[in-house]
Amino acid sequence: MKHKKIKIAALAIVTASLLGGILYSEFGTKKSYDYSDYYVESKPSKITKENKDNEEASEKELSLFLLKETNKDVVGILEFDDRIIYEPIVQAPNNEYYVRKNINKEYANAGIPFVSADGNIDSKNVVIYGHSSKWNNIIFTPLMNYVNQSYYKDHPTFQFITENETRTYQIFAVINVDLNNLDDSLEFTQSNWDSNNAFNAFLSDSINRELYKTGLTVDPEDKLMTLVTCDTRDNNKRIIVIAKKI
């Protein structure tokens, strides 16, 4: 067990470090990929007073089918309020593959968000890594908003769209991790735990380390999603957003 934890910690540091490696690179004005070709018309909105004169009122949305046609590694779409984050999510056999590749598997400095290779979208904890930039609002940069409790209160949930369902997650902890601090636990990178006791210990540690109190509780049977990105204020730190499926 001790060796397993050391291995997990080592892998976590490597992956987290890869995210930070290009935090201060020149992203320019381009996003990692232009997804305009993957938008389709959504179903007509429910008729309201605001759109009663336009029964065909609709908005475009990313097509998971079209995205997967281009790249079979696409496993879902992450969507936040107002689509401040609206990104396809991929998964590869290793965590290095998509750090600097786009959906076409071509070089892209900002990469594409990816699920940790040691789990999958049905794991106890779905860990997703993505880049941030202090210059541009790319990929996971908007997660920096959650440093402020007032923003969290207005935007406590997000969605993850898969082939079979649309999941809603409620954020219960926002953590700031220092990679230089050897006492800072990296257990948030785990996809599974060996027992409920180990899982509960992780939850207690996460809640004790959160930047502010959310007041939410998590049960042993809950499933989690953890989003990891660079802290744009300090290249050695990471912003961790942990949510439970509701």
> Which percentage of the chain shows pLDDT scores above 70?
80
Q: Which of 3.40.140.80, 3.40.50.10860, 2.40.260.10, 3.40.50.720 is the CATH number of 2-245?
A: 2.40.260.10
Are 86 and 77 in contact, with CB atoms under 8 Å apart? Answer: yes
Per-residue DSSP letter, 188 = G
Q: What pLDDT score was predicted for residue 6? A: 43
pTM: 0.86
In this prediction, residue 12 has a pLDDT band, given cuts at 50, 70 and 90, of low
**Over 80: is that where the pLDDT of 126 sits?**
yes
- State the average pLDDT for the chain: 87
Mean pLDDT, residues 114-137? 95
Count the neighbouring beta carbons within 10 Å of the beta carbon of residue 28.
10
Tell the burial category of 125 from Cβ atoms under 10 Å away from its Cβ (0-12, 13-18, 19+).
buried
Q: What pLDDT score was predicted for residue 33? A: 75
Q: Which residues contact 216 (CB under 8 A, 6 or more apart)?
A: 170, 172, 244
More confident residue, 32 or 149: 149
The string of pLDDT tens digits covering residues 162-212 is 999 999 999 999 999 999 998 888 999 999 999 999 999 999 999 999 999
Rounded distance between C-alpha atoms, residue 88 and residue 114, angstroms: 9
Q: What pLDDT score was predicted for residue 136? A: 82
Mean pLDDT, residues 60-74? 97
Taking the domains of the chain in order of start, what are their residue ranges? 2-245
Write down the residue that tokens 């541009």 correspond to: 136
Q: What pLDDT score was predicted for residue 44? A: 61
Q: What pLDDT score was predicted for residue 24? A: 38
**Torsion on CA atoms 211, 215, 221, 222, rounded to nearest 10:** -60
Count the neighbouring beta carbons within 10 Å of the beta carbon of residue 12.
24
The string of pLDDT tens digits covering residues 83-118 is 999 999 999 999 999 999 999 999 999 999 999 999
